[in-house]
Amino acid sequence: MPDLFATPWSLGTSVAVFVTAGILTVVASIRLVGLGDTLADRTGWGEALFGAVFFGLATSLSGIVMTAVTAAAEQPQLAYSNAVGGIAAQTTALVVADAFYRRANLEHASASLSNLLFGCLLIALLALALLATYTPDVTVGGIHPVSLVMVVCYLGGISLVRRSDATPMWNAVDTSETRTDVPQQQDPLERHSTRVLGCSSPESVSRSPRPAGRWVPPLRASSKPPDCVQDSSAVC
């Protein structure tokens, strides 16, 4: 490695480089959003696929370089934690995006088959990386076989997402067993309680007039049964 990266920088140099890189990142990201939307329309990939591939690679470039440099410097734990921690940080960034998207919640507005498949792809890749840590120490040309499987899985997942936009694998349709939830006009429990308390139909209770401007005392429990119960000839 060059001495520029092997020798520690002073505090002033580190702060200056960090601030400059931060400004360049913000400016480039703002410009990248407009170009990305245009390129997604021109290529026909769609915003979900283009954002995951193009934006994903562009924003992860610094993390990839840091992971490669730390791995070459024989710091495997730092390289692994940087890769996995970067994924966790970018996923948590959905909270910030949801706060800036004011029309609705971001998860509901971005719901699509492409984003669903990308979420499944992310889970599969993380599962492979986790399983690789518990497998025997086997290498092929200095590379773990699971690493090659992860590359194949990523490329296959990208191809699957791209094909799903043109020909979706499934669509939600109604069948003969589908039951539509239609709300009732009146709750059965409320109708039953109305008959017990008033000994009358719910229509007569709901339509009974109330004197305007008069206070109606609340119902009180009484041990005395109603008159319609005392007189057997009365009909409720």
DSSP for 62-73 reads: HHHHHHHHHHHT
Residue 115 or residue 48, greater confidence: 115
CB distance 96 to 29 below 8 Å: no
Model pLDDT, residue 184: 53
Model pLDDT, residue 232: 46
What amino acid is encoded at 35 in this protein? L
Residue 52 or residue 83, greater confidence: 83
Tell me the percentage of the chain whose pLDDT exceeds 70. 69
Q: Name the residue among 78, 86, 69 with its Cα closest to residue 122.
A: 86
> What does the pLDDT look like over 64-121, one tens digit per residue?
888 888 888 888 888 888 888 888 888 888 888 888 887 778 777 777 788 888 889 9
Global confidence as pTM:
0.58
Is residue 231 pLDDT above 60, yes or no?
Answer: no
Is residue 161 pLDDT above 80, yes or no?
Answer: yes
- Neighbour tally for 42: CB within 10 Å: 9
Model pLDDT, residue 178: 55
Task: State the pLDDT confidence band at 202, using cuts at 50, 70 and 90.
Answer: very low
Residue 48 or residue 221, greater confidence: 48
Is residue 47 pLDDT above 90, yes or no?
Answer: no
Is residue 186 pLDDT above 80, yes or no?
Answer: no
Model pLDDT, residue 1: 45
Is residue 8 pLDDT above 60, yes or no?
Answer: yes
Task: State the pLDDT confidence band at 229, using cuts at 50, 70 and 90.
Answer: very low
Average pLDDT of the residues in 144-153: 91
Model pLDDT, residue 192: 52
Model pLDDT, residue 197: 52
**Residue 140 β-bridge partners:** 143
Task: State the pLDDT confidence band at 127, using cuts at 50, 70 and 90.
Answer: very high
Task: State the pLDDT confidence band at 235, using cuts at 50, 70 and 90.
Answer: very low
Q: Name the residue among 94, 144, 142 with its Cα closest to residue 118.
A: 94
Task: State the pLDDT confidence band at 34, using cuts at 50, 70 and 90.
Answer: confident
* Residue burial 85-118, b: 16+ Cβ < 10 Å; e: rest: ebbeeeeeeeeeebeeeeeeebeeebeeebbebb
